[in-house]
Structure 1
């Protein structure tokens, strides 16, 4: 939120203020210049005739320019605000949508679930023993691994899927799978899990292998997003309790 506020204030100072105040500045300079010319003999007689005739035209033109300037500034402001909001919903490390975007999208889905009867499933993916991985390697390598994992998941998603990094400093990824029943979501999560298991992540010339656990649930009709997330988290905990991990658990 602080980033959004700071970006907004910077834009307001740099763009809106400049556009508006520059216009006012040049308008005032023009008016002063015109009145000053009245005292120059060459222009005095011409101004006495022409200025009195076109005074209302000048006022009208000035109003039109002011309105045009304000509309243009507000249009630029609106586009910049949308850009800032979009950036504020993207995870910098992975390029995926972040938890803020997830909250907004889940709220939208709550309304859609009341109007549409299509199934929506949620898949939570968590790297096995990632805390130990951090201790044995470094946070820098761990971040690069997460970046590559996020890219892999993003490439493997369908057009109806949306992939998120669940928390800013976490190793969990969440997928909203639209038009997907819980049974099909389980198949998809197993496929992704095996894809990750069979992949080699190369960082600074070294090869790394990962395994993950997956939790799967269905976003039920007339259900709050928070309830679905709580059930999804429980499914993940069930998966993590298995001795060798690297498995998928569903919770209806």
Structure 2
């Protein structure tokens, strides 16, 4: 039988690990267990192995070496499964915060984002706006043209609301035909101008040869008077219904 040195049986990286970690550890401890190394067989094939080492009473080191190819395969499969579960978790989270028809954020997640915006401006003085938007006479669209056309109208409006939005702006669908925009770092004058621009754009564009209009309520956060997410949403909703009650197809700014 050919006598081989132990170092010739391991890969270069394993030998470095043995010299720098295992041998120094054996000077302190009498045993080292479950160390994974790379064994190189006579065909130069690298095989993963698990090594247990103990120091005998005679001062010699005794090595037990076990092939662990299957364990490596299991470890790899567990990693893949973990990655798959993490991806599925992300997908489920997206489903939980998203309106299925339009792909927009839903009301529950919007409220969380408004609360974050409130916390942000408490640390960094600024203002944000909420625009509550509702399609005028939407029931008439469904009753006259059917729910499929009504769904197309909702998706059409969602796409308009998403156009030209900044990365930190949020568009949400919070009810049947009601949407909300959360606009960061904006004052009341600019929020009103943006709302009017959206209102006019919606009025000019048709979906299935049908023209719709929207009513809008605007509220801008007030640095001097702190409000909760629910309170701000109610103010923008009240302004929205004021627009509806005074003729529709218009924008109303909420007053504190």
TM-score in terms of structure 2 length: 0.67
Partner Cα distance (1:115, 1:79) in 2: 34
Shift of 1:68: 5.2
Which residue number in structure 1 is paired with residue 234 of structure 2? 230
Answer yes or no: is 1:248 the counterpart of 2:256: no
Shift of 1:86: 1.2
Matched residue SS, 1:97 = coil
Matched residue SS, 1:88 = helix
Give CA-to-partner distance per residue, 1:141-161, whole Å, 9 cap, x none.
111111111112112433342
Answer yes or no: is 1:93 the counterpart of 2:95: no
Partner Cα distance (2:144, 2:133) in 1: 22
Shift of 1:227: 1.0
Partner Cα distance (1:163, 1:215) in 2: 15
The higher-RCO structure (CA 8 Å, 6+ apart) is: 1
Measured on the aligned residues, the alpha-carbon RMSD in Å equals: 2.3
Larger C-alpha radius of gyration, 1 or 2? 2
| Equivalences, count | 192
Answer yes or no: is 1:217 the counterpart of 2:207: no
TM-score in terms of structure 1 length: 0.68
Shift of 1:125: 0.9
Partner Cα distance (1:172, 1:76) in 2: 36
Runs of 5+ consecutive residues of structure 2 not aligned to the other structure:
1-61
The structure whose residues are more often helix, as a share, is: 1
The answer to whether the 8 A contact 1:123-1:217 is kept is: yes
Runs of 5+ consecutive residues of structure 1 not aligned to the other structure:
1-52
The structure whose residues are more often strand, as a share, is: 2
Select between 91-100 and 187-196 the one with higher mean Cα deviation. Answer: 91-100
Matches within 5 A, 1:18-33: none
